[in-house]
Amino acid sequence: MDHARLYLPLLIGGLAIVASVGAARLASRAGLPVLLAYLGVGLILGEDVLGVDFGDERLAHDLGNAALAIILVEGGLATRWRSLRPVIAPAMLLATIGVVVSVGVTAAGAVLLIGTDWRLALLLGAIVASTDAAAVFSVLRSLPLPGRLAGLLEAESGFNDAPTVILVSVLSIGTLHWTTPLEVIYQLAIGAAIGLFTGGAGAWVLRRISLPSSGLYPIAAFGAGIVAFGAAGFAHGSGFLAAYLAGILLGNSSLPHRRAVQSFAEGLGWVAQIGLFVMLGLLVTPHELPAVILPALLVGGVLLLAARPLSIAVSLLPWRLPWREQIFLSWAGLRGAVPIVLATIPVVNGVPGSERLFNIVFVLVVAFTLIQGPTLPWLARRLGLSSPDPIQDMQVESAPLDALAADLLYLSVTPGSRLHGCEVYELRLPAPAAVTLVVRDGDAFVPSRDTRLRLGDELLVVTGAANREEVEARIRSVAESGALARWYARRRKS
């Protein structure tokens, strides 16, 4: 057995994860986005420093898509419907009309400023057009922003990956055609349908089945999101949109052990981010980057100062957003792993000039993450958009009773039953058992100890599984003999 072949990659991978976590801690204390720490670990491990040679763009593209799917499922699971609902329409316009405007303006700037041809310019514009879900989810959730603004940024970053992936793929294979809009609509529609169906079906099943361990619920929920991604891709739809929508439905469906589901998803999301950015850091060749610093800064300047603000203004025109929010939205268009992963598509397809394009995108992402990320809290305060004490989302969780070693008993007060007229405390149920709900004439209420039961009442009783038989026997005895059932029982024994 070749021990080096098995254990050396695991050793390097484990050290990379540990180093990334430590680097993330240092980056956060310095006020820098943690994704740069992960990229830095990849660069240090790479061929120009420690000598790890990784140059498989196709493998990087496939692994990158898988990591982005995990990140989008996690983002969907963490998105609350009440914050998403008011911003769905503007987020969809930002993810479509806004992307088109941004691509056009950025491409024009690339042609004029760095002299690239129109095909590469459009590719560059499409690659950097969408905001990055990983960057937005990790940075903005630590900012105390108004709910509508934070929801709009998160929804946009979740939705706009799908159209940009389609656009980059089309441009990498050929040129734009009159059928391109129809292809985009088809892929988005298929992805949305599969994501909604899979998320809804997964939530329905998980609420109705009893699994042998609570730890299986997070795995099943997250697996449903990955199924949506794979099924949509297999059907030539948008897997990214399917994964995000499935995550939203699952995360807002009162799943059993919801807090555990979200914690599990968050952990997987961090692992995906670390692996993705370290891999992308390995993929780049550092000594080739100085030659593209100026082109990357010029194109990034066009994107940040012209393309992004114009796309915001055009897309959100019907909503008349205050200028302060428009400025923040323009500056908060964070780029991260998505553009770098998308930049591997033309490389895999052998587009001339695509390797230089990849280096430009990498430098652009790093440079403007350094510019935008640390300044977002300051800008939010200057614009009066940050609230000092944000209200935290309260987590309410449901769990199957078998996981709690408990049983739920249902009974009704039928004609002739001596339960009629008894007060709840007179049931004298053995501990731990309690009448938790009474349904009377179609109205449900929580009874007090003095609530008098009536004919036709329906009762829900929660009891420990170990004393279920004792509780049932007590209820039956009261139904037969009334509140004095225990006295009658003692008298018969004597």
Return the domain boundaries, the chain. Answer: 3-382, 405-493
303 DSSP 8-state letter:
I
What is the structure's pLDDT at 232?
92
Containing 324, the helix (H) or strand (E) segment is: helix 323-331
Buried b (16+ CB within 10 A) or exposed e, 216-245: ebbebbbebbbbbbbbbbeeebbbbbbbbb
Long-range contacts of 193-197 (CB under 8 A, 24+ apart): 193/237, 194/228, 194/231, 194/232, 194/235, 194/237, 194/242, 195/228, 195/232, 195/241, 195/242, 195/243, 195/244, 195/245, 195/246, 195/249, 196/245, 196/246, 196/249
**Distance separating alpha carbons of residues 176 and 429, to the nearest angstrom:** 74
What is the structure's pLDDT at 142?
65
**Distance separating alpha carbons of residues 242 and 229, to the nearest angstrom:** 6
The 3-class SS string of 338-397 reads HHHHHCHHHHHCCCCCHHHHHHHHHHHHHHHHHHHHHHHHHHHHHCCCCCCCCCCCCCCC
- Non-local (6+) Cβ contacts of 17 within 8 A are 271, 274
316 DSSP 8-state letter:
T
Nearest CA to 296 among 260, 252, 340?
A: 340
**Distance separating alpha carbons of residues 42 and 379, to the nearest angstrom:** 30
What is the structure's pLDDT at 226?
93
- Structure-token pair, residue 310: 């114009």
Distances (CA, A) of 101 to 303, 306, 329: 11, 10, 15
Nearest CA to 251 among 233, 228, 230, 273?
A: 228
**Distance separating alpha carbons of residues 298 and 301, to the nearest angstrom:** 5
Contact criterion met (CB below 8 Å) for 354 and 346: yes
Distances (CA, A) of 123 to 106, 261, 288, 307, 350: 10, 38, 20, 15, 13
State the Cα angle at 59 between 55 and 65, rounded to 5°. 125
**Distance separating alpha carbons of residues 344 and 53, to the nearest angstrom:** 17
Q: Tell me the torsion sign for CA atoms 99, 105, 107, 109.
A: negative
What is the structure's pLDDT at 404?
63
What is the structure's pLDDT at 389?
45
What is the structure's pLDDT at 392?
45
Burial class of 130 by CB neighbour count within 10 A (0 to 12, 13 to 18, 19+): buried
**Distance separating alpha carbons of residues 137 and 139, to the nearest angstrom:** 6
Residues in the chain: 494
**Distance separating alpha carbons of residues 430 and 413, to the nearest angstrom:** 20
CATH of 3-382, one of 3.40.50.1370, 1.10.620.20, 1.10.357.10, 1.20.1530.20: 1.20.1530.20
**Distance separating alpha carbons of residues 177 and 161, to the nearest angstrom:** 21
Nearest CA to 169 among 388, 307, 346, 375?
A: 346
What is the structure's pLDDT at 451?
92
What is the structure's pLDDT at 173?
80
pTM of the model: 0.71
Q: Class of the 405-493 domain?
A: alpha beta
What is the structure's pLDDT at 379?
87
Average pLDDT along the chain, 494 residues, taken 10 residues at a time: 66 77 69 72 76 75 85 84 83 89 92 89 89 68 73 82 82 72 84 93 86 82 92 89 91 78 83 82 83 92 92 89 89 82 85 88 87 84 70 48 71 87 89 90 90 91 85 86 58 42
Containing 99, the helix (H) or strand (E) segment is: helix 88-114
- Structure-token pair, residue 267: 């952990």
Q: Tell me the torsion sign for CA atoms 471, 476, 477, 479.
A: positive
Q: Tell me the torsion sign for CA atoms 463, 469, 472, 477.
A: negative
What is the structure's pLDDT at 494?
41
- Structure-token pair, residue 354: 């695509």
